[in-house]
Structure 1
């Protein structure tokens, strides 16, 4: 494997040799200090493993996986072996211009250390090789076929107890290995936790990682960056690394940063996996930092006691008193917490991960719901009485046919949800225009629906984990489902329609809307969940021939491996 390019501020001359890049201040000399990558190469050579040279011509570049400010990640297939890799491609001019050379070299050094000096670990992305051409740098690494935890949280809202426990334990194992390598991550967050083809975690993105032993770091004297737009708030504390919602207090005050900063981030991640939202959030990074420093967070109703106790022990301002710190017993104290009592630590890499599926935790007197959505072989298309019975989980012998209301959404009663006929053949164009004319004059939500005829409207609670927001939902021709903040009268979003959209009624008040990239959890206080499911499914059937197979949205563009 080739693990040893060394670019810093260099250019390639006509003969292919590297030359120091001239800056305004004069010739910049390359550091004579050996990098950890060079040590890794020497160890490989002693063991008989010779570095293999790679170029871009050795790979088929298949498609784009993700894009960042300074890099693009491609899915690539090696020509000689057919194996798939994620290849991060960085533009040399950009990383020089934005002073990111040390960050890039640090990421390479950390990945080389993890993969080669320490033998790799199943819970980490592995570095296959690095190479360069006159204008670009290349990292070839493990391809994470199943995206990352952030994508899963965005799609599902939150995780059930079994999934949260399993992935929390795997993250603990990964941090234990990383810290034993004398490395701290410093930017642990759901987006940096990838999922392998077997749904196990793989930590990634080591551009802000830090070697605890300075001699291991090729890029000594790290220059960390403040988020864009926040410089004025941090004149005396102008350096920090990480992501606002997961960064620890000691990082914000330029204190000594050790392994316990990663356990703070883990506490925030567990909070998010359970509840659907991170504990510290605000209108901007600066106000989020203020909340972090004041430990200004609270647990929503329904947060289970064991993970709550664990999170509280991780989210401690003093890093020496934080669970996971050396002073508090290190990783063994974490593993011994009652939350992890059922975990078989040595077997985690070999266990089958629990299924990631839509889940709504118990709240507001409603029980917890797992999605049972699948397409059985004996199912018939359509939404007749038998289908509704199946969706409600009722026995056919107990089923009493009920007549679904079929009336256009009431213009005067805006806060009640009425069904409407989805049979466009029975509505003449003149009748439609008459109704649309009335709607334009009398319906206060008309301005949000792009002049489409509203077929059904009603106030629903849009849930995400343990959090809920009341929204006015508007089902219109098109087809479209808009939802509006009724207090601030602000359009908050749309549920994307596609052929694969499906509804799932859980009881008379709770129903799910499944789209390719997300499940929406909705609660109808008027107990008309079945009517909503009927109306949405009927509208989908009406427009079936015009709908895309998958809604066109950014998250439908494929795997988003780390940039």
Structure 2
């Protein structure tokens, strides 16, 4: 008898069954909290998705796809598990495995590059995970270090299946046809620039080999410390991918070089492991895995306590005085990282208390004269720049880094800093609103669209304050 999906093991749950602690992750339309089950004291990661954002940005397909894939995977080894889902009037909730040791990207960034034995172990775990996906007919399509988590024992847990494709039809459900998939690929890329496979860029048919390409990119990053395809913009990264333009440092082991080269092949069918009757046999038999016991990989490489601390191993505890549930007040407090041991909040010199736009005509004239030597001046139609900074603008699946320029007028321009081309402008009206999700992520709501933005330096609150002050200056009747 086939066991029920993992989420059916718990019935009629609600937010009141959990105490919500610190924010441990952010997405375009979701927030992930560390939470504790009040009945068992077990810790979970609860992904909270705002219904209004999902509907407004037409993301319901991504949410349902992720739920479906997690149900198919059930309790499979090397994957985050979906324990249950529930909802209230404003939000959807996914109760997931809590990965105490964070994500693999942080692990790689802190260690620069890994010893070969460590690379071999994690590479083998990824291979076994890919075999599971293949067996169950799932292509991840956004496999990258950021989507690989580490559990309390330092084993991998693959997550984030919103971009996945199910190739084997689920009984009773309509599967996406190749024609439908091709049309979607013509309209948007799926994946992340540094790890996206060439066939996705050229409208080719998605297959399990797409994840093999991403695996090759991750292997390269494990031994070199950076992804193989790097450039100043996504367009230039895509060009390097399509030309297979990458190289190895001189000190990289030749055996793993060979494995990577045989994965990073432009033609999907020619990649190592593609189109094999026995899944990924050639990868298992590659000389790099000569000493690997595929039936028992054993424990993950030893992480010393000092190294674990340096890697940011989570010691977060949920305060005992918190009550179950997640109302707006508590959500705001958790986003402000009041509880636990927050990272240092970026601070700047205390600004003047007056409105950012309260300038005399003489001051505006003087500052405009100085601004004429600024490289951004010709892109803002002669308006005085009040605030500027690099911000990641999310649309679809790729964040795009833009120079944001807040000016008198009012205007909020955004420019491609690589090509120096004005890409657009967020429209102003008395109804414009800002919403800080945390110190990095903030939203700008306009009547027709919500802009998802992230300041990599952590000054989201400053952006919100500046935009709101400019709104009050030009639309004083909108002040609340």
User: TM-score, normalized by length of structure 1?
Assistant: 0.51
Specify whether residues 133 and 314 from structure 1 end up closer, same or farther in structure 2 by C-alpha distance, changes over 3 A only: same
SS in 2 for 1:326: coil
Is 1:80 aligned to 2:29, yes or no? no
CA distance in 2, matches of 1:273, 1:218: 39
Partner of 1:204: 159
**Cα shift readout 1:499-550 (whole Å, capped 9, x = no counterpart):** xxxxxxxxxxxxxxxxxxxxxxxxxxxxxxxxxxxxxxxxxxxxxxxxxxxx
After superposition, residues 367-406 of structure 1 pair within 5 angstroms as none
Of 71, 77, 81 in structure 2, the residue corresponding to residue 112 of structure 1 is 71
Specify whether residues 89 and 107 from structure 1 end up closer, same or farther in structure 2 by C-alpha distance, changes over 3 A only: same
**Cα shift readout 1:267-286 (whole Å, capped 9, x = no counterpart):** 00010000111100111111
**Cα shift readout 1:443-467 (whole Å, capped 9, x = no counterpart):** xxxxxxxxxxxxxxxxxxxxxxxxx
Partner of 1:352: 299
Of 163, 168, 171 in structure 1, the residue corresponding to residue 126 of structure 2 is 171
Deviation of residue 53 (structure 1)?
Answer: 1.1
CA distance in 2, matches of 1:306, 1:217: 46
| Structure 2, unpaired ranges of 5+ | 311-456, 459-480
Question: Is the CA contact (8 Å cut-off) linking 1:163 and 1:355 kept in structure 2?
Answer: no
Partner of 2:259: 310
Q: Which has the larger radius of gyration?
A: 1
After superposition, residues 31-430 of structure 1 pair within 5 angstroms as 44=4, 51-115=10-74, 120-215=75-170, 221=176, 237-326=186-275, 330-348=279-297, 351-356=298-303
Question: Is the CA contact (8 Å cut-off) linking 2:83 and 2:96 kept in structure 1?
Answer: yes
SS in 1 for 2:49: strand
Specify whether residues 93 and 53 from structure 1 end up closer, same or farther in structure 2 by C-alpha distance, changes over 3 A only: same
CA distance in 2, matches of 1:88, 1:357: 30
Question: Is the CA contact (8 Å cut-off) linking 2:120 and 2:289 kept in structure 1?
Answer: yes
CA distance in 2, matches of 1:222, 1:126: 27
CA distance in 1, matches of 2:234, 2:254: 29
Question: Is the CA contact (8 Å cut-off) linking 2:212 and 2:263 kept in structure 1?
Answer: yes
CA distance in 2, matches of 1:158, 1:79: 40
SS in 2 for 1:66: strand
Partner of 1:418: none
SS in 1 for 2:187: coil
CA distance in 1, matches of 2:219, 2:131: 17
CA distance in 2, matches of 1:281, 1:77: 40
CA distance in 2, matches of 1:82, 1:139: 18
Specify whether residues 123 and 109 from structure 1 end up closer, same or farther in structure 2 by C-alpha distance, changes over 3 A only: same
Alignment coverage as a number of residue pairs: 308
Question: Is the CA contact (8 Å cut-off) linking 1:163 and 1:356 kept in structure 2?
Answer: no
| Structure 1, unpaired ranges of 5+ | 1-38, 224-233, 359-369, 374-552, 555-563
CA distance in 2, matches of 1:50, 1:297: 47
CA distance in 1, matches of 2:232, 2:174: 34
Specify whether residues 251 and 153 from structure 1 end up closer, same or farther in structure 2 by C-alpha distance, changes over 3 A only: same
